[in-house]
Amino acid sequence: MATLLKRGLTEEGHQVFVANDGTEGFEMARSAEFDVIVLDVMLPGMDGLTIARKLREARNQTPVLMLTARDTAASVIAGLDAGADDYLTKPFSFDIFLARLRAVSRRGAIPRAVFLEVADLKLDPSTRRVSRAGQSISLTPREFSLLELLMRNHGRVITRDTILESVWGFDSDVAGNTIEAFVRLLRLKVDATEPKLIHTVRGVGYVMRES
């Protein structure tokens, strides 16, 4: 696929550099300037998610278009949260690939917030560290995803269906009381102090806001 994409992009007038594995790609991306980076998720040496995350940690804001065969909601969210600007699943049309590439390259290297912060609660998507009032909070991967979803939508009500799709995936058969149980566990860790940040909107879902 790398060979075909390079040939097609070269024919379109682009100058293309191809890395044979993730480690080489990461070194290439951080040592030279590019208009856009195309990342496959499944790479030997270092996967695409790790590359994107490490680049963002190093304050490299080159636009990233991520390619993968993983098309679940959780996979898309993981790619975007790692630092990708867009996400294209395989198989894909080369014309659509070119259009996505043009779109992300037009955005340029846009600075983005390093932390999510609500009141004294802080979450770092790149390192997956969470703290409140300076005290570190240990979360399971599922709890982290749920908290991140709520913080990214600070002030907006998130429905149970949206939580189910974003945290567990479209094809999940998780029951509603499982979501409630996870919210309860998250509250015990996050809302142990005032002000309470996670609120229930009866019959709809949940919202993160200061009281």
The tokens for 125 are: 């998507």
Report the SS3 class of residue 198.
Answer: strand
What domains are there in the chain, each with its CATH number?
2-107 (3.40.50.2300), 116-208 (1.10.10.10)
| pLDDT for the residue numbered 122 | 94
| pLDDT for the residue numbered 106 | 76
The tokens for 51 are: 């590359």
**pTM as predicted:** 0.51
| pLDDT for the residue numbered 82 | 82
| pLDDT for the residue numbered 206 | 95
CA distance 177 to 36: 43
Beta strands, E only, 72-209 = 86-89, 116-118, 121-124, 129-132, 135-137, 158-159, 198-201, 205-208
CA distance 195 to 105: 41
CA distance 117 to 178: 26
**Regions of the chain where pLDDT drops below 50:** 170-171
